[in-house]
Amino acid sequence: MSEIGVALVGYKFMGQAHSNAYRQVARFFDLDSTPRMRAICGRDEEAVKATADSLGWEGYETDYRRLLERDDIDLVDVATPGNTHHEIAVAALEAGKHVLCEKPLANTLEEAREMLDAATTAGTINMVCFNYRRVPAVQLAKKLLDEGRLGEIRHWRAVYLQDFILDPEFPLIWRFDKEVAGSGALGDLGAHIIDLAHFLVGPIEKVVGTTETFIRERPLEPGGDETGTVTVDDAAAFLARFENGAMGTFEATRLAPGRKNHNSFEINGSKGSLVFDLERMNELRAYFADDPPETGGFRTIMVTEPDHPYVGAWWPPGHIIGYEHTFVHTMKDLLDGIGAGKSPAPTFEDGFRCQAVLDAVERSVESKTWTRPERAPRRDPTGSGDLLGRQ
């Protein structure tokens, strides 16, 4: 069995989620290549050293460039804010490393294009961490759609709602700074439901949207008097038309009181409907129009059977899994992809496609008109070559 030397840049929220996944993946899945957690990277030496110990890394670095010089590191995982993705990912690809990059791929479409170019030139494995594709219930939805169980798809209706910034005294963290985050709810939450829409329904042809920043000033520090300006959206909503003729609605906000992580979609086809809500992620609700009326209606499928995607590696039926498992599944497919020499979807091409929709929404907000996302050049020879993520 071969070992893949892993380095992780960023050690807070996603740093923890990714570290946990690298620790767990080989304990539950049969892998040809196992991850070896070589180094975690951050700028504060004391903090990153302590984190290396607590999260199970062999060592640490305080400059990501050091990771690129090391022969014992094969994979660089970028789990830092959006303004650093382009620099770190491109440098890692140029150094011949495989790259997993957090979402959204970049802060601008131009950056995303350069990252896709670098991935194509490098020929190493690339992947974007849109982890919600790897919820078993989402995979089941994909299977039912591929089997034609819903017929012709007519509607995609997705919301991603949180409330963590509801308090106007919540401080001006990096997520409120366009230079660092790229955008607000649109890129943070909207990117996830755009990627799910691409995965489940197909390419988006055009969009028209609106955004709002309801709380424009926030304290620089918790409890402080000095304030700074929010330069991103608090909320975004847009209509879409898909290339296959389906209609789509998307809404992303961090100002929906009571909604903690309500990432939910409904798909309506000519023969049935599917409903998913991340806060009940072990379930998929389904309606099939050809069920007998007497016993028909929406059914709730517990997606915890051993034959459901990924589930056989975990617990007996009904013994539910959670948020962190989506990252374990991501790492499993990434490691398999490295072994097979094939980038698992969502690749940087898919990341570009998502970025193109974010870009089109922002342009449509400016122009107040329907706007087409720029098309992705299909160029990555290591990619799956299929927007829907079929391997």
Ligand X SMILES: NC(=O)c1ccc[n+]([C@@H]2O[C@H](COP(=O)([O-])OP(=O)(O)OC[C@H]3O[C@@H](n4cnc5c(N)ncnc54)[C@H](O)[C@@H]3O)[C@@H](O)[C@H]2O)c1
Contact 20, 323 (CB under 8 A): no
Whether the CB-CB separation of 141 and 284 falls below 8 Å is answered with yes
Count how many Cα atoms sit within 13 Å of the Cα of residue 203 in the half-sphere of its side chain: 14
Q: Is 219 exposed, middle or buried (0-12, 13-18, 19+ CB in 10 A)?
A: middle
Cβ proximity to ligand X, 40 vs 246, nearer residue: 40
Closer CB to ligand X, residue 131 or residue 304?
131
The dihedral through the CA atoms of 65, 68, 72, 73 has a sign that is positive
Looking at the DSSP assignment, which residues form a beta bridge with residue 238? Answer: 209, 250
d(CA 386, CA 18): 26
Q: Give the phi and the psi of residue 285 in degrees, each rounded to 5.
A: -95, 135
Least distance CB 61 / ligand X (angstroms): 10
Q: How far is the CB of 188 from ligand X (least distance, A)?
A: 6
Q: Which is nearer to ligand X, 11 or 276 (CB)?
A: 11
Residue 154: CB minimum distance to ligand X, A: 29
Distance CA 217, CA 169 (A): 9
CB-nearer residue toward ligand X: 31 or 173: 173
Q: Is the peptide bond before 104 cis (omega within 30 degrees of 0)?
A: yes
**Chain residues in the site for ligand X (CB under 6 A):** 9-15, 42-43, 79-82, 84, 102-103, 129, 131, 188
Q: How far is the CB of 2 from ligand X (least distance, A)?
A: 27
Judge contact between 99 and 92, C-beta under 8 A.
Answer: yes
Structure tokens belonging to residue 131: 């982890």
Q: Which residue is nearest to ligand X (CB)?
A: 12
Q: How far is the CB of 13 from ligand X (least distance, A)?
A: 3
Closest distance to ligand X from the beta carbon of 181 (Å): 7
The CB-of-203 to ligand X minimum distance in angstroms stands at: 22
Q: How far is the CB of 294 from ligand X (least distance, A)?
A: 42
Q: Which residue number, 10 or 389, has a Cβ lying nearer to ligand X? A: 10
346: helix, strand or coil: coil
* 153/196 with CB nearer ligand X: 196
Is 256 within 8 Å of 266 (Cβ atoms)? no
Cβ within 8 Å of residue 265, ≥6 positions away: 156, 157, 158, 159, 193, 196, 197, 200, 274, 275, 276
User: What residues does 101 pair with on adjacent strands?
Assistant: 78, 128
Please give the Cα distance from 78 to 121 (Å, whole number).
19
> Which of 246, 236, 283 is closest to 156 using CA atoms?
246
Q: How far is the CB of 152 from ligand X (least distance, A)?
A: 31
286: which residues sit within 8 A by CB, 6+ positions away? Answer: 144, 272, 273, 274, 275, 298, 299, 301
**Residue with Cβ nearer ligand X (38 or 268):** 38
Nearest-approach distance from CB 110 to ligand X, in angstroms: 17
Cβ(253)–Cβ(185) below 8 Å: yes
